[in-house]
Structure 1
Amino acid sequence: MTFSGATTKDESYPHPNGDAPGGAKNAPRYARFPLHDRSRRPLHVIVVGAGPSGIATLIKLRELPHVTLQCFEKNPEVGGTWFETRYPGAACDVASHAYQYTFDEKKDWTRHFSPAEEIGQYFKDVAKRHDIYPLITFGSTVVGARWDEVTGRWRVQVSASDGRERVAEADLIVNAGGILNDWKWPEIEGLQDFKGVLMHTAAWDDSVDMNGRSVAVIGSGASSIQVVPSVQPQASKVDVYVRSPTYILPTVGFGVESSIFNEQYSSVDIDRFTIDPEFYRTFRKSIEQQMNENFAASIKGSTAQADGRAWAEKMMRGAIKSPELQEKLIPSWELNCRRLTPSLPYLNAVQQPNVDVVRTGIRRITGNGVETEDGQLREADVLVCATGFNTSFSSRFEIVGPEAYLGLAVAGLPNYFTIMGPNCPIANGSLIPCIEASINYIAQAIVKIQRDQIKSLEVKQSVQDAFNDYVQEVHKDLVWQGSCQSWYKDRETGRITAVWPGSSIHFMEMIETPRWEDYEMSYTNTNPFWFMGNGISQRETKKEDLTFYLGETKA
């Protein structure tokens, strides 16, 4: 599909609300309203996606006056990844009490790492409480968008699940489509030739019976780590193909210490969370404090990196009894180079007699199983691809490449913002507050467009280039530029495309106040000072105190 803009420019003079009055040549060159009555300009915003980012965007942007919202969601329900993720054992590897909004807390999570169903229900409940369902059109995928230079609006092409297409217009687009929503098959020769059951963790088939069957699981990321413990007790044999190992911790940590991995919170715990706000605030802050402190271990050569790596290796060696298996599963690179995942169940499962961890590379898939590079064929009845998602940062309507500005804006795309775009803080500390901070940044942009009668707001290409040069330079000192293979970096260039060059706190501080000098702006009128109005203030219009600067007098 295409994503482009028209080249014809509008030279007419707009009405105070920003609409053009038919191109009248004798139209006034200034607005017929007082200086400070600028927020009444109506703006329409299209939000793409109703996952965690989209839900928060709708809730927060709805607070802006004279802003209308419309959201298109490809699924039949809100939740994004947490609606789609249904494989057995699916859960969040971030503490539940930290994986929630700051403005709508759930204090009765059942576990420290809650299952996908519970997380999905949380986002549904938030959407219901804030009454945003009427703003969402479900079963609708945005497949294209075109910027109209004449009208200063986006024309957005939407494809419904029933095959019908429509075009919607907006003054601004917020792409909240997320990262982990476009799953992919691994690029392995012969994959589609497999005669058994072929499935992906992101498109799990609950009807498949694993009992007594030989199962091959390809992948070593979070989905593999979560699905293997569920499949292992049922299958007669499980082969786990690990191209690149990752650090897997046998403990929970982050404010919870227990001899039972991820045990349920007791009713006493939940009651105290609910009835004692100060206790709960301290508990949640302790979790997020540890999450944010962990960034220190992401600096190459730091004491925190050395200590953290030694600790993680010690923990894994203590949980894995076989020296051979230790050799296969304990990484030889920097801690945090790949995502750190807690899972004692996985470490237990791979040590069972019916499980083999295969580190030899895969040559091809045959009709009967997996052939490795040493020529060995390992037969399988079920082939599970736990190989993740397309994380190229190309949205489903192909407009975002691997580079952006602050993970929020993209050169060449006016009045367009993305949440969790390229080089976002996906692995740098607490994530949800960063999403909320991103929305606050976008809200400031909307208000500026509205109040200053801006037609288009677009980050400068030179600024975006300079920012990305900075990103790659800083990453030379961070572990994501390490020796591991991960989806955080481009396989061909080695450039870090997914991770912010700093901590989550650094990200939030950086975007707290927009640098408007980094943007090109065009206005709804040929004179950019048109918005100043007719020289009369709001105070004069409302016949208020015109000596306000002297303070109030006693009645």
Structure 2
Amino acid sequence: MPSATSPTLGSIISDRSVDTVRPLKVICIGAGVSGILAAINLPQAVRNLDLVIYDKNEELGGTWFENKYPGCACDIPAHCYQLSFESNPAWASFYAKAPEILEYWKRVAEKHDCRKYMKLGHKALKARWDAGTAKWRVKLENVKTGEIFEDQGDAFITAIGALNEWKWPQIPGLHDFGGKLLHSAAWDESYDYKGKKIAAIGAGSSGIQIVPSLQPEVQHLDHYVRGRTWIAATFAREEIDRRDNGAGNFDFTEEEKDKWRKDPTSYLAFRKKIEAELQGGHNVTVRGSDAQKAARGYFTQSMRDRLSKKPEVADHMLPEFPPLCKRLTPGPGYLEALTADNVSVIPNPISHVTSTGVTTSDGIHRPVDAIVCATGFDTSFLNRFPVYGLNGISLIDRWSERTSSYLSMTVDSFPNYFMSVGPNSALGTGNFIMILERQSTYIASCLAKLQTQNILTMQPKPSAVNDFTNFCDEYFQGTVFSEECSSWYKSGKEGRVTALWPGSSLHAIQALDQVRWEDFDYDFVDGNAFGWFGNGWSQRDRSDEVSRTYYLDGQGMLDWPLKKTQAIKNGYGATNENKDG
């Protein structure tokens, strides 16, 4: 090794090479899809990383672990609900059931060794930015033991989803009911509902799945439908019609699955065909567009045809607002279940619940054995554990008047804080898993920059947050999402659209492909923007064990060994390359 003398160190020059990276501790809350992606992408992009992912549940999987209600399934085609780099050719059904989806995410986590970063059964209670130490202090509870403790990190990520906080609906007398009370988000799998009289409250996505699952098994089902809703035709109608087995499962044959296992090219072609249709419907969201008018006519006729045995149900359910103003759900088998002889659709509002059943506003009392609540979620983004940023500002207080963010992932006055599925990140149409992938790689890029450029903190400029939020508000005025309907897109009420990305899925993928570093404010570890230069040396200068001509080998400092995912765009320095070759 050649001898070298370090330069004289001053207030700016530090005794480190330009390619030295400081250790980085990252705390992530949530071990669902976003948490699993963090466990895959962050270690590939960030060297010298200490990553810990906490989740309140005893198992990973997020919503797919928590939701166990009858009929729980993905309401987009299963072949579109998977990672770009982890295809599963063996999905049993076109709309995969929750247990199969959970097993998929478990397999992904095992393959990429994600569990080593996870601490399950730990609930986040509070997070606070400590300006004195430039650390996030996160208060947590061990769910089993009740122990409360604190962890500290340089960066903090929340990956807890948008519909993670369920609650009982506010119906007078609900908890006076003497029978079985069930909620879709906390289902008691030990309860035997066969042959019982059931009341099902709510016609959202979970209610639409529960009703056709219960209907064949119960003696009678009263379905309380307060609001109107569009039930979409299923995606990939040609494929559905070809394999419809009459049971609403649309199963794939063993021959198909075996062919796809043996021929990945054939499977990829099938996946692309289905996904191209899913990604191609954004024009339906435009107010007054020909596509929107055509969709309305088609959905109206489809719903009336499927409810022809009970046309009065169609009269009650068909909305005045346009399709997609509320979340559009295919609901295979749902409308058909409503026409069954053992199902009554109750359009009258619920007055109260007694010990024996449900009473509606017209005074009619309907005795039941069990009440199923498929409603009541808090969708306001204000239901999380408290998070405090600079000067003790609360994120809940910050958002109480106007929910705002920068690209749905960061907020000014909250340094080194990142969100997956934050405000304005969901989609009205298109593939959401691809957005989660882009959010994960985007956050990884930011963390890599923090580490390799000697940056102490980064946060979006207030102007960038304000500009993005203003863009969202103006964009949605030209879409059906802002028309008059109560939707979780608007926190369950009228007003601003706070949940959706201002554009198509393809628009989001491209917008999140590269980080606009100029939209951020930075503080540096040593107070100088060029402190990352270190002492003017590279580690390669001081070692005979690494190549000093790596630039002739087609290798650069930005060539990360991302074998599992697409390259993370515009990151810095996360290469494991050390030797010549």
Q: Same fold (TM over 0.5)?
A: yes
Task: Write the distance in 2 (CA, Å) between the matches of 1:34 and 1:211.
Answer: 70
Structure 1 residue 148, shift from structure 2 partner? 1.3
Tell me which of 196, 199, 214 is aligned to 1:216. 199
Q: State the partner residue of 2:576.
A: none
Tell me which of 262, 268, 280 is aligned to 1:293. 280
Letter in 2 for 1:279: S
Q: State the partner residue of 1:187.
A: 170
Alpha-carbon deviations, 1:294-316, whole Å to 9, x = none? 11101111111111221122221
Structure 1 residue 547, shift from structure 2 partner? 12
Letter in 2 for 1:47: C
Task: Write the distance in 1 (CA, Å) between the matches of 2:161 and 2:419.
Answer: 9
Q: Say whether the 8 Å CA contact 1:463–1:518 is kept in structure 2.
A: yes
Q: Say whether the 8 Å CA contact 1:93–1:113 is kept in structure 2.
A: yes
- Pair 1:324-2:307 in alignment: no
Task: Write the distance in 2 (CA, Å) between the matches of 1:353 and 1:230.
Answer: 15
Q: State the partner residue of 1:22.
A: none
Structure 1 residue 347, shift from structure 2 partner? 1.3
Letter in 1 for 2:351: R
Q: Say whether the 8 Å CA contact 2:307–2:335 is kept in structure 1.
A: yes
Task: Write the distance in 2 (CA, Å) between the matches of 1:443 and 1:173.
Answer: 12
Aligned length: 524
Provide the TM-score with structure 2 as the length reference. 0.86
Alpha-carbon deviations, 1:152-189, whole Å to 9, x = none? 11111110112001111111111111122221211222
- Pair 1:469-2:456 in alignment: no
Comparing 365-374 and 382-391, the one that deviates more: 365-374
Task: Write the distance in 2 (CA, Å) between the matches of 1:490 and 1:29.
Answer: 49
Comparing 533-542 and 218-227, the one that deviates more: 533-542
Q: State the partner residue of 2:76.
A: 94
Tell me which of 185, 188, 196 is aligned to 2:179. 196
Q: State the partner residue of 1:132.
A: 114
Distance 1:445 1:534, change over 3 A: same
Tell me which of 320, 330, 334 is aligned to 1:346. 334
Q: State the partner residue of 2:262.
A: 275
Q: State the partner residue of 1:48.
A: 29
Q: State the partner residue of 1:107.
A: 89
Q: State the partner residue of 1:9.
A: none
Task: Write the distance in 2 (CA, Å) between the matches of 1:403 and 1:186.
Answer: 27
Q: State the partner residue of 2:131.
A: 149
Matches within 5 A, 1:394-413: 394=382, 396-399=384-387, 400=395, 401=399, 402-413=403-414
Task: Write the distance in 2 (CA, Å) between the matches of 1:252 and 1:538.
Answer: 55
Structure 1 residue 537, shift from structure 2 partner? 4.9
Structure 1 residue 436, shift from structure 2 partner? 0.5
Task: Write the distance in 1 (CA, Å) between the matches of 2:538 and 2:122.
Answer: 45
Comparing 210-219 and 392-401, the one that deviates more: 392-401
Letter in 2 for 1:294: G
Q: Say whether the 8 Å CA contact 1:425–1:507 is kept in structure 2.
A: no
Letter in 2 for 1:194: F
Structure 1 residue 250, shift from structure 2 partner? 5.3
- Pair 1:63-2:44 in alignment: yes
Letter in 2 for 1:371: T
Structure 1 residue 528, shift from structure 2 partner? 2.2
Q: Say whether the 8 Å CA contact 1:254–1:286 is kept in structure 2.
A: no
Alpha-carbon deviations, 1:46-84, whole Å to 9, x = none? 111111111011111111222221111111111111111
Alpha-carbon deviations, 1:193-214, whole Å to 9, x = none? 2222111011111222323332
Structure 1 residue 254, shift from structure 2 partner? 6.1
- Secondary structure of 2:449's partner? helix
- Secondary structure of 2:488's partner? coil
Comparing 355-364 and 490-499, the one that deviates more: 490-499
Q: Say whether the 8 Å CA contact 1:229–1:349 is kept in structure 2.
A: yes
Comparing 74-83 and 190-199, the one that deviates more: 190-199
Alpha-carbon deviations, 1:257-291, whole Å to 9, x = none? 32434321011110121122221111111111111
- Pair 1:374-2:335 in alignment: no
Comparing 390-399 and 403-412, the one that deviates more: 390-399
Letter in 1 for 2:102: G
Task: Write the distance in 1 (CA, Å) between the matches of 2:509 and 2:235.
Answer: 26
Task: Write the distance in 1 (CA, Å) between the matches of 2:551 and 2:406.
Answer: 41
Q: CA RMSD in A?
A: 2.2
- Pair 1:309-2:324 in alignment: no
- Secondary structure of 2:478's partner? coil
Q: Say whether the 8 Å CA contact 1:84–1:202 is kept in structure 2.
A: yes
Structure 1 residue 492, shift from structure 2 partner? 5.5
Q: Say whether the 8 Å CA contact 1:317–1:326 is kept in structure 2.
A: yes
Task: Write the distance in 2 (CA, Å) between the matches of 1:481 and 1:523.
Answer: 42
Task: Write the distance in 1 (CA, Å) between the matches of 2:66 and 2:359.
Answer: 31
Q: State the partner residue of 2:438.
A: 437
Task: Write the distance in 2 (CA, Å) between the matches of 1:428 and 1:45.
Answer: 32
Letter in 2 for 1:468: T
- Secondary structure of 1:472's partner? helix
Q: Say whether the 8 Å CA contact 1:328–1:357 is kept in structure 2.
A: no
Letter in 1 for 2:98: A
- Secondary structure of 1:273's partner? helix
Distance 1:548 1:190, change over 3 A: closer
Distance 1:195 1:547, change over 3 A: closer
Q: State the partner residue of 1:13.
A: none
Tell me which of 150, 156, 162 is aligned to 1:173. 156
Q: State the partner residue of 2:577.
A: none
Tell me which of 337, 341, 352 is aligned to 1:364. 352
- Secondary structure of 1:62's partner? helix
Task: Write the distance in 2 (CA, Å) between the matches of 1:340 and 1:411.
Answer: 33
Distance 1:257 1:233, change over 3 A: closer
Comparing 187-196 and 413-422, the one that deviates more: 187-196
Runs of 4+ in structure 1 off by over 4 angstroms are 537-549
Task: Write the distance in 2 (CA, Å) between the matches of 1:547 and 1:220.
Answer: 61
Task: Write the distance in 2 (CA, Å) between the matches of 1:491 and 1:134.
Answer: 38
Q: Say whether the 8 Å CA contact 1:425–1:503 is kept in structure 2.
A: no
Task: Write the distance in 2 (CA, Å) between the matches of 1:547 and 1:509.
Answer: 31
Q: Say whether the 8 Å CA contact 2:240–2:250 is kept in structure 1.
A: no
Task: Write the distance in 2 (CA, Å) between the matches of 1:311 and 1:548.
Answer: 59
Letter in 1 for 2:353: I
Task: Write the distance in 2 (CA, Å) between the matches of 1:442 and 1:395.
Answer: 23
Structure 1 residue 484, shift from structure 2 partner? 2.0
- Secondary structure of 2:371's partner? strand
- Secondary structure of 1:46's partner? strand
Provide the TM-score with structure 1 as the length reference. 0.90
- Secondary structure of 2:124's partner? strand
Query: Which ranges of structure 1 fall in alignment gaps of 5 or more residues?
Result: 1-25
